[in-house]
Structure 1
Amino acid sequence: MRVEPSQLVPGCMLLNDVKGKSNRAIISRNTVLTEEHITIVEKFLIAFVDVGSKLSDGTTFQPKAIQQEKKQVKQTNDSSNLAFDEHYHYVVQNYKKLFTAWQNNIKVDMPTVRKLVIPLFKRIDQDNVDIFTLHQYNTKKDYMYHHCVGVGLLAMYLSKKMGYPSGESIQIGLAGFLSDCGMAKISPTILNKTEGLSAIEIDEMKKHPTYSYRMIEQIPTITQIVKLAILQHHERMDGSGYPLGVKKDKIHAYSRILAVSDIYHAMTCERLYQSKQSPFKVMEELIRDKYTHFSHQVVDTFSKSLTNFSIGKR
């Protein structure tokens, strides 16, 4: 029978080879599938596989129900039908699918990216969302995907608070959303490591802004300023950042917004290798570094917005 990868269970017997985009067999026919095999099939974005009606132990194969998230795709055409947290989680799950595609050398598709994330951006003002508590949605396992969506939302919100017009704020938000797409070019062994990274692994991680830039460099619908912001989002005002070590006036205003949004979301989230900190503790550190690592104008706007949002909240 022909089923989707999400319907597979360990013990399924393949009737035909599973082939990737190069038309080479990823898994050979007659293989008894394990959890690892099923994960590989999902990672390679295989649409369907042919398996026997019996499992390896002789019992009848009962396909899993098709994942509910696929049934919700039509609902997102009218995002007003979803609560903000539901819409947010939908975008995170679809970012995860995009990221898997990028790991398989599929190019960044900007129409798909824009259609996915811009409706969520537009809800920030409409729904009066507490933008500074996005970390509460994060899970340690899927931190990377939450981080990209969170940075995009924070950057878009912060740029509006700084007086940027709506269209420009969306561009800055898109820069945040795509700033870590280059992580798809980093070895999964490094990305999924739960203990501290070695010096060599840290050096490799520091290449991700360059990888991100290369992935979007030839896309004509992305402005050069947005591309520069993606490349520079880990630069610091005193020249201590990466990948180029530029400082002060060499760092674009968009990049400065992304830098603050990135560090705030990262430090307030639980990660595989590091515990989360409270928003106020993170803000203290940003204020401490606002004349060295970060733009003081961006940090001042950020801290003022956080204070106003937090009055009357626990």
Structure 2
Amino acid sequence: MLVNSEQLIPGCILIRDVKGKTNQPLIPRHTVLTTEHIVILQKFLIQKVDVSKKLSNGNLYEPKTMMQDTKKQVDNPIDLSFQEHYHYVVQQYKQLFEGWQNGLAIDIPTVRDTLVPLLERMEDISDAIYTLHHFATKEDYFFHHNVAIAILSAYLGYKTGYVKGEWLQIGFAGFLADCGMARIESSIIQTNRSLTPEEVVEIKKHPTYSYRLTEKLPTLKQAVKQAILQHHERMDGSGYPLGLSKGKIHRYARIIAVCDMYHAIICERVYKEKQSPFKAIEILQQEQFTKLDPDVVYTFIQGMTNFPIGTRIKLSNNQLGEIVYTDIKKPTRPMIRLSEQQEEIVALQNHPELFIVDVLK
């Protein structure tokens, strides 16, 4: 079966040699393709290859329809804008996840090469952190979510004061936290409706699956593995899969829990409308007294609402304005000067019906 190299996934089996510029095959037939093989094919501008109709695990291979906006392979993602780099990593995550679905082991060097250059752009992340949800699409929410959690978790680790090695590890944990979803039926992950009770039970197994996929990887630190297993635990013991509480939950997992909840609230999904980031932060403030670590929530809110005076915003009634004062005790409820009435100042603390829906660049 002749397919485009962009349609390949790990586990595809070559049935014909891929020839380079020499007489020696670039990749010989019968090779089971890995992510590295696919990258090589794309770097050598190999357009089409002949592969088996079955994958290495025996499943039928169904090439996905190529998107019109498929991006070309990038030699050095750091040369891209931050948003382009983000989308590049989302596509890489999608390819990795398809490999995990087909039974391939997690390749930590590949994950590191994919993720670390993006996380190291901390200055760009700081500038884009509030608008990160605008990058996502509801159709590919799952793949965007995991990349965004890696970014948000690393950023929160950075704001908490962890050294670079640690906040990178926290980002790793966020990136791999949902890898166990590869063991769940795709129809459940990609559904466009609310889950049934039985499907919810199955989804709640994914932290355990994620841990099983990572527990024997020698290059992954134990703290990262714990965070992967515990990222849905809650401070009051109401989380899963172990029902842990307070001091029994690893500090990395507490960070990922906040970032996971925040991103899930602010992103539009096929069966759920998005909330504004400021609304999401107010929800986190409510949850900090029961389910979330209040210290982590406090640091997250300070990092997400540190807007300078003059920042332009849009309110829930569609009025535009700019921030003129922020009370650090109520950072989601600043004082706003309305654009159309230059002398009118609105104190959002006195108007619970209003909230900021967007920050305008």
Amino acid at match of 2:194: G
Whether the 8 Å contact between 1:151 and 1:261 is mirrored in structure 2 is yes
Report whether the alignment pairs 1:4 with 2:4. yes
Report whether the alignment pairs 1:72 with 2:43. no
Shift of 1:258: 0.4
The structure 2 residue matched to 1:121, chosen from 119, 124, 127, is: 119
Whether the 8 Å contact between 1:6 and 1:66 is mirrored in structure 2 is no
Helix, strand or coil for the counterpart of 1:197?
A: coil
Report whether the alignment pairs 1:281 with 2:279. yes
CA distance in 2, matches of 1:260, 1:126: 21
Shift of 1:41: 2.7
Q: What TM-score, normalized to structure 2?
A: 0.70
Q: Deviations over 1:35-58 (max 9, x none)?
A: xxxxx1349xxxxxxxxxxxxxxx
Whether the 8 Å contact between 1:19 and 1:26 is mirrored in structure 2 is yes
Whether the 8 Å contact between 2:82 and 2:124 is mirrored in structure 1 is no
Helix, strand or coil for the counterpart of 2:290?
A: coil
Amino acid at match of 1:20: L
**Which residues of 2 match residues 1-314 of structure 1 at below 5 A?**
2-4=2-4, 18-22=53-57, 26=60, 40-42=62-64, 69=71, 71-76=72-77, 79=78, 81-125=79-123, 128-309=126-307, 312-314=311-313
Whether the 8 Å contact between 2:158 and 2:164 is mirrored in structure 1 is yes
Partner of 1:48: none
CA distance in 1, matches of 2:221, 2:51: 45
Helix, strand or coil for the counterpart of 2:137?
A: coil
Helix, strand or coil for the counterpart of 2:76?
A: helix
Whether the 8 Å contact between 1:237 and 1:294 is mirrored in structure 2 is yes
Amino acid at match of 1:41: P
Unaligned runs of 5+ residues in structure 1 are: 9-14, 28-39, 44-63
Unaligned runs of 5+ residues in structure 2 are: 9-49, 314-361
Shift of 1:246: 0.6
CA distance in 1, matches of 2:284, 2:172: 23
Shift of 1:127: 6.3
Whether the 8 Å contact between 2:7 and 2:64 is mirrored in structure 1 is no
Whether the 8 Å contact between 1:17 and 1:25 is mirrored in structure 2 is no
Amino acid at match of 1:73: V
Amino acid at match of 1:148: N
Whether the 8 Å contact between 2:3 and 2:51 is mirrored in structure 1 is no
Shift of 1:257: 0.2
Shift of 1:251: 0.6
Shift of 1:164: 0.5
Shift of 1:6: 5.1
Helix, strand or coil for the counterpart of 1:141?
A: coil
Residues 163, 19 of structure 1: alpha-carbon distance in 2 compared, 3 angstrom cutoff: same
Residues 161, 67 of structure 1: alpha-carbon distance in 2 compared, 3 angstrom cutoff: closer
Shift of 1:130: 2.2
Higher strand share: 2
Residues 289, 21 of structure 1: alpha-carbon distance in 2 compared, 3 angstrom cutoff: same
Residues 268, 118 of structure 1: alpha-carbon distance in 2 compared, 3 angstrom cutoff: same
Residues 291, 107 of structure 1: alpha-carbon distance in 2 compared, 3 angstrom cutoff: same
CA distance in 2, matches of 1:150, 1:6: 23
Higher helix share: 1
Is the radius of gyration larger for structure 1 or structure 2?
2
Helix, strand or coil for the counterpart of 1:221?
A: coil
Shift of 1:133: 1.7
Helix, strand or coil for the counterpart of 2:306?
A: helix
Residues 230, 3 of structure 1: alpha-carbon distance in 2 compared, 3 angstrom cutoff: closer
Q: Deviations over 1:66-96 (max 9, x none)?
A: 9752x333132xx1x1100000000001100
CA distance in 2, matches of 1:163, 1:75: 29
CA distance in 2, matches of 1:7, 1:256: 37
CA distance in 1, matches of 2:249, 2:193: 32
Amino acid at match of 2:259: S
Whether the 8 Å contact between 2:138 and 2:268 is mirrored in structure 1 is yes
Residues 243, 67 of structure 1: alpha-carbon distance in 2 compared, 3 angstrom cutoff: same
Whether the 8 Å contact between 2:86 and 2:118 is mirrored in structure 1 is yes
Q: Deviations over 1:201-241 (max 9, x none)?
A: 00000011111111111000111111000100000000011
Helix, strand or coil for the counterpart of 1:94?
A: helix
Amino acid at match of 1:4: N
Q: Deviations over 1:133-183 (max 9, x none)?
A: 211001011000100000000000001111111110000010001101111
Shift of 1:304: 1.1
Amino acid at match of 2:75: K
- The aligned length equals 271
CA distance in 2, matches of 1:291, 1:181: 29
CA distance in 1, matches of 2:67, 2:298: 50
Shift of 1:65: 11
Partner of 1:11: none
